Structure 1
Amino acid sequence: MKLLATFLLVWLGHSNAEGQVHYEGSATQASVLNAFEEDPNFDFWSRPRIFDAPVDIMVTPAAQQMFEDTMRSNGLDYRILIDNVEETVQAEKVRLRKASTVVAGEVTFEEFMRHDEINAYLLRLGEDYPDIVKTEVIGKSFEGRDLVLVRISSGGTNKTTIFMDAAIHAREWIAPSMALYIINQLVENPNNTDLYEDIDWAIIPVANPDGYEYTHTTARLWRKTRSPGTICYGVDPNRNFDYMWMGAGASDWQCSYIYAGYTAFSEVETQALRDYLMAYKDDIKLYIAIHSYGQYIIFPWGYTSALPDDNDELVAVGERVNAAISAVNGTTYCIGTSTNMLGTAAGCSDDYAKGAVGIELSYCLELPGGGTAGFDPPASRIQPIVEETWEGFKAYHAYIKEKFVDGVY
Structure 2
Amino acid sequence: MLKQLALVLLLCGVALAGQSYDGYKIYDVQARNSFEKQLLLRLSQNDAYDFFDLPRSLDASSRVMVKPEDQEGFEILLQKHNVDFVVTDENLGESLRLTHEDNQKQRLMNLRSTGRSISFTAFHRHAEINAYLDELAAAYPSRVKVEVAGKSYEKRDIKTITISNGDGKTGKKVIFLDAGIHAREWIAHAGALYVIHQLVENFAANSDLLKDFDWVILPVVNPDGYEYTHTTTRLWRKTRKPISSSCYGTDANRNFDFHWGEVGASSYSCSDTFKGETAFSEPETQILRDLLLDLTGRGKFYLTLHSYGNYLLYPWGYTSALPSTWRDIDEVAQAGAAAIKSATGTKYTVGSSTNVLYAAAGGSDDYAFGVANFPVSITMELPAGGTGFNPSASQIQGFVSETWLGIQAMAKLVVQKY
Asked if these proteins are the same fold (TM beyond 0.5), I'd say yes
Q: Map 1:113-262 onto structure 2 (within 5 A).
A: 113-154=124-165, 155-189=168-202, 190-230=204-244, 231-262=246-277
1:7 is matched with: 26
1:314-371: per-residue Cα shift (whole Å, max 9, x none)? 2221121112122221112111000111111111110111112111200000111111
2:7 is matched with: none
Greater CA drift, 64-73 or 261-270? 64-73
The amino acid of 2:405's aligned partner reads E
The Cα shift of 1:173 comes to 0.9
Q: Does 1:110 align with 2:129?
A: no
Aligned partners of 2:209 and 2:415 also within 8 Å = no
Total equivalences in the alignment: 391
Aligned equivalents of 2:57, 2:392: Cα separation in 1: 30
The amino acid of 1:281's aligned partner reads T
Q: Does 1:327 align with 2:346?
A: no
Indicate which of 67, 74, 92 corresponds to 1:67: 74
1:285-336: per-residue Cα shift (whole Å, max 9, x none)? 0000101111111101111111221122222211211121222211121110
Q: Does 1:43 align with 2:57?
A: no
Q: Does 1:288 align with 2:307?
A: no
SS in 1 for 2:264: coil
Aligned equivalents of 1:276, 1:54: Cα separation in 2: 37
2:376 is matched with: 361
Greater CA drift, 136-145 or 35-44? 35-44
2:291 is matched with: 276
The Cα shift of 1:60 comes to 0.8
Cα RMSD after superposing both structures: 1.6
Aligned partners of 1:105 and 1:124 also within 8 Å = no
1:93-148: per-residue Cα shift (whole Å, max 9, x none)? 22233334354654200111111111000011111111010001111111111111
Q: Does 1:388 align with 2:402?
A: yes
TM-score, normalization: structure 2? 0.90
1:91 is matched with: 98
The Cα shift of 1:281 comes to 1.2
Aligned partners of 2:103 and 2:392 also within 8 Å = no
Aligned equivalents of 2:356, 2:45: Cα separation in 1: 22
1:79 is matched with: 86
The amino acid of 2:319's aligned partner reads T
Aligned equivalents of 1:68, 1:303: Cα separation in 2: 31
Change (3 A) 1:2 1:385: closer
Aligned equivalents of 1:388, 1:70: Cα separation in 2: 39
Aligned equivalents of 2:63, 2:215: Cα separation in 1: 34
Aligned partners of 1:2 and 1:86 also within 8 Å = yes
SS in 2 for 1:144: coil
Aligned partners of 1:34 and 1:48 also within 8 Å = no
Aligned equivalents of 1:378, 1:120: Cα separation in 2: 23
TM-score, normalization: structure 1? 0.92
Change (3 A) 1:378 1:93: closer
Indicate the percent of aligned positions where both proteins have the same amino acid. 46
The amino acid of 2:41's aligned partner reads N
1:373-401: per-residue Cα shift (whole Å, max 9, x none)? 31232211211222222122221221122
- Extract structure 1 runs of 4+ deviating beyond 4 A: none
The amino acid of 1:402's aligned partner reads Q
1:20-78: per-residue Cα shift (whole Å, max 9, x none)? xxx4xx1x433433333344422111125363421111011111111111112223211
Unpaired runs of at least 5, structure 1 = 15-22, 405-409
2:9 is matched with: none
Aligned partners of 2:126 and 2:226 also within 8 Å = yes
Greater CA drift, 237-246 or 71-80? 71-80
Unpaired runs of at least 5, structure 2 = 1-18
Aligned equivalents of 2:395, 2:20: Cα separation in 1: 27
Q: Map 1:307-346 onto structure 2 (within 5 A).
A: 307-346=322-361
Aligned equivalents of 1:234, 1:144: Cα separation in 2: 15
Aligned partners of 1:105 and 1:122 also within 8 Å = no
Aligned partners of 1:105 and 1:117 also within 8 Å = no
Greater CA drift, 36-45 or 259-268? 36-45
Greater CA drift, 175-184 or 389-398? 389-398
SS in 2 for 1:43: strand
Aligned partners of 1:38 and 1:255 also within 8 Å = no
Change (3 A) 1:191 1:48: closer
Return the structure number with greater helix share: 2
Aligned partners of 1:301 and 1:351 also within 8 Å = yes
Change (3 A) 1:251 1:323: same
Aligned partners of 2:107 and 2:123 also within 8 Å = no
Aligned partners of 2:174 and 2:214 also within 8 Å = yes
1:397 is matched with: 411
SS in 1 for 2:276: coil
Aligned equivalents of 2:83, 2:262: Cα separation in 1: 27
SS in 1 for 2:43: coil
The amino acid of 2:343's aligned partner reads V
Aligned equivalents of 2:415, 2:283: Cα separation in 1: 33
